[in-house]
Amino acid sequence: MIAIRPNLGRTPTDAWGETHETVTGAPIAFHAMRGLAAHSNGFQSIRALAVLMSLLGTIDRPGGFRHKSPYPRAVPPSAKPPNSPDDVKPNTPLANGPLGWPAAPEDLFVDANGEPVRIDKAFSWEYPLAVHGLMHSVITNAWRGDPYPIDTLLIFMANMAWNSSMNTVEVRKMLADKHENGEYKIPFIVVCDAFQSEMTAFADLILPDTTYLERHDAMSMLDRPISEFDGPVDSVRVPVVPPTGQCKPFQEVLVELASRLKLPAFTTPEGTRKYRDYPDFIINHQTAPGSGVGFLIGWRGKDGEKALVGEPNPRQWEEYAKHNCVYRYTLPESMQYMRNCNGPYLQFAVEKGFRKFNEPIVIALYSDVMQKFRLAAQGKTQGRQPPGHLRARIEQYFDPLPFWYPPLEHETTDHAQYPLAAVTQRPMAMYHSWDSQNAWLRQIHGENFLYMNPRTAASQGIEDGGWIYVESQWGKVRCLARYSEAIEPGTVWTWNAIGKSAGAWNLGPDANESQRGFLLNHLIADEIPVKRADHTRTSNSDPVTGQAAWYDVRVRIYPAEAHADHTLPQFAPMPALPGAVGTSGTGAGGLIHRVVQTYFAGRGEFAARLAKAAQRK
């Protein structure tokens, strides 16, 4: 611990009015996001790290774990999800937002019998704090009719028939499965996507979205800000090319639907349409009438001279475009540290709409929220009680103090038979459909390997660049191996989303992505058996938050057949969709498509593979 005195300009004052000559630095911090969260023990593991940093005094200190605006915020935040089926009625807008942070059993979205109301079972006794939902469980639940059957499934941005799903092979079967009477178990599927992703093959209706080059976007302080440690930052995207064909930015679709449905936030007091389109919505929406707090913090006010708070500026988009699409506000240095109890900062946060109250934010080592759920499971409180079969689960995992426990899947895994941990993550270029299939980046991301430590490979007789099988207790894939000293001996790793199904994404059926790329998702189960007398299964998720346990799977590896020359499993090539650009010889596999690809590919190995693929046609 180091007592330092940065150039604060003036002596900082805490929330209790006491001034401080110095700020104590704690040059240590841990970052815990997807890597730790994507386990069925992720929530309590990350809590343990947060408590450790709190005990070390490193939270928002120089050299420590720094906050980024609009954080810190109260824990839990004040927003709550619906807590009764009566909160959701046909032809009636929601009284409050659909998401929130339950602080007690009374905040759960369950019916009178304690059963889930949402199709993914978020905010229920099964996954009480599932703020991000359980997208990976939606298709399985809908197919099974648990907790109820649905008539329409709308999928936006998520490629649930491929890299956004666990148990991919079975999920694809569920999407096309029928009842004995011939009716589909999921009757009507709507997919909004910018490309012909694997999910579009199962759609009854496709809403063609745009890429990031064709639309307006806002990286807003009200959503997922890109702030820096020293102050709030937001940014926008502006279109550089017009939308193609009938493609329409989905945010425009939502504004249009909300306006036609006359939802309160999109309708004037006189009953007329409030916003012309998405750019108009971003400029003119305010969190409350006259609050001056909107989606964007830069160039507010009628003349564009205000920051953070101010009247809507009709030329705000133009100002962002003139300034590289980014606005940055730097806090006085006296407000840049210990913001959970920094008096001037807390007042500033209220004035600028970051927070509702200027009370200090207490870092809780012992969670009263967790304890409320545990006491309910123990039958020690009045009010809502968990169903009998979930009492022990709630009591065990809702410990008010963080603790470590083995991932749930490991209880059903033979570690001697499956000794390796397998990890997969998406490259930024393919994080979602919007920004996939960049012609230049395909040279880097046209195929993927399973990376492993050379010692791990040598113990199994696997050559660098050789074809191998990767097998879990749930499935098996064939792929290419690659040595890497950066990989721990007990772990294997690969990119996600590079491997494609044949014919998808308007690629030829022999494209590298389908023949040399693979998907580790085929090895990951969306449900796992639990130790109960009725042999039921549960979602492969954190029992507190419902976070998908992508990183809990265990595998073994061994050489493939000597004649292997493509990845497995393979699926029937997707046909070109009606009306797709270039389906008459100029699209996937067509002359113009190949000429454009070859131009961007240059003269290297990727270009040679393109030429070879063209010869096979």
Q: Over the stretch 196-213, which tens digit does the pLDDT of each residue have?
A: 999 999 999 999 999 888
Nearest CA among 224, 216, 220, 219 for reference residue 248: 216
Mean pLDDT of 110-118: 96
Which pLDDT score, from 0 to 100, does residue 444 have? 80
Given pLDDT bands bounded at 50, 70 and 90, which one contains residue 191? very high
Given pLDDT bands bounded at 50, 70 and 90, which one contains residue 4? low
Which pLDDT score, from 0 to 100, does residue 233 have? 98
What is the percentage of the chain residues whose pLDDT exceeds 70?
90
The overall longest dimension of the chain from CA atoms, in Å, is 77
Mean pLDDT of 221-233: 92
- Is 481 within 8 Å of 457 (Cβ atoms)? yes
Given pLDDT bands bounded at 50, 70 and 90, which one contains residue 584? very low
Rounded to whole angstroms, how far apart are CA atoms 481 and 306? 56
Given pLDDT bands bounded at 50, 70 and 90, which one contains residue 421? very high
Nearest CA among 113, 107, 44, 112 for reference residue 389: 113
Give the alpha-carbon dihedral of 237, 242, 248, 253, to 10 degrees. Answer: 50
Q: What is the pTM of this model?
A: 0.90
Mean pLDDT of 49-69: 92
- Is 296 within 8 Å of 220 (Cβ atoms)? yes
Which pLDDT score, from 0 to 100, does residue 587 have? 42
Nearest CA among 549, 552, 526, 550 for reference residue 539: 526
Residue 560 to residues 326, 429, 456, 481, 511: CA-CA distances in angstroms? 50, 30, 16, 10, 21
Indicate the SS3 state at residue 127: strand
Which pLDDT score, from 0 to 100, does residue 591 have? 52
- Is 40 within 8 Å of 546 (Cβ atoms)? no
Question: Helices marked H in 165-313 — which ranges?
Answer: 168-176, 250-260, 278-284
Rounded to whole angstroms, how far apart are CA atoms 487 and 453? 5
Given pLDDT bands bounded at 50, 70 and 90, which one contains residue 13? confident
Nearest CA among 493, 540, 435 for reference residue 127: 540
Rounded to whole angstroms, how far apart are CA atoms 80 and 108? 9
Q: What distance, in Å, lies between the first and last C-alpha atoms of the chain?
A: 66
Residue 395 to residues 44, 80, 128, 195, 370: CA-CA distances in angstroms? 14, 23, 13, 45, 10
Query: Cβ–Cβ contacts within 10 Å for residue 197, how many?
Result: 29
Which pLDDT score, from 0 to 100, does residue 3 have? 54
596: left (phi over 0), alpha (psi -120 to 50) or beta: alpha
Nearest CA among 379, 401, 409, 290 for reference residue 43: 401
Angle ∠(66,68,70) on CA atoms, nearest 5: 140
Mean pLDDT of 20-25: 82
- Is 378 within 8 Å of 394 (Cβ atoms)? no
Beta-sheet pairing, 188-193 with 152-156: parallel
Task: Please provide the DSSP assignment of 384-396 as one string.
Answer: ----GGGHHHHHH
**Exposed e or buried b per residue across 177-194, where buried means at least 16 C-beta atoms within 10 angstroms of its C-beta:** eeeeeeeebbeebebbbb
User: Looking at the predicted structure, is the pLDDT value of residue 459 above 80?
Assistant: yes
Which pLDDT score, from 0 to 100, does residue 615 have? 60
Which pLDDT score, from 0 to 100, does residue 95 have? 86
Given pLDDT bands bounded at 50, 70 and 90, which one contains residue 253? very high
Beta strands in 37-113 (DSSP E): none
User: Looking at the predicted structure, is the pLDDT value of residue 135 above 90?
Assistant: yes
Given pLDDT bands bounded at 50, 70 and 90, which one contains residue 560? very high
Domain locations in the chain? 2-75+335-397, 408-616
Which pLDDT score, from 0 to 100, does residue 31 have? 80
Burial of 115: CB neighbours in 10 Å, binned 0-12, 13-18, 19+: middle
Rounded to whole angstroms, how far apart are CA atoms 134 and 504? 26
The pair of structure tokens assigned to 324 is 């590289």
Rounded to whole angstroms, how far apart are CA atoms 192 and 157? 6
Q: Which stretch of 175-179, 219-223, 381-385, 585-589 has the lowest confidence by average pLDDT?
A: 585-589
- Is 541 within 8 Å of 549 (Cβ atoms)? yes
The chain-wide mean pLDDT, for the chain, equals 90
Q: Check residue 319 and report its DSSP letter.
A: H
Rounded to whole angstroms, how far apart are CA atoms 406 and 109? 28
Which pLDDT score, from 0 to 100, does residue 426 have? 85
525 or 34, greater pLDDT: 525
Nearest CA among 428, 498, 472 for reference residue 163: 498
Given pLDDT bands bounded at 50, 70 and 90, which one contains residue 56? very high
Given pLDDT bands bounded at 50, 70 and 90, which one contains residue 276? very high
Indicate the SS3 state at residue 478: strand
Indicate the SS3 state at residue 298: coil
Given pLDDT bands bounded at 50, 70 and 90, which one contains residue 578? confident
Indicate the SS3 state at residue 527: strand
Looking at this protein, which amino acid is placed at residue 590? G
Nearest CA among 261, 606, 255 for reference residue 447: 606
Which pLDDT score, from 0 to 100, does residue 609 have? 59
Beta bridge partners of 19: 13
State residue 458 phi and psi, 5-degree precision.
Answer: -60, -35
Q: Which stretch of 141-150, 239-248, 391-400 has the lowest confidence by average pLDDT?
A: 239-248
Mean pLDDT of 374-388: 96
The pair of structure tokens assigned to 416 is 């001697």
The architecture (CATH level 2) of 408-616 comes to Beta Barrel (2.40)
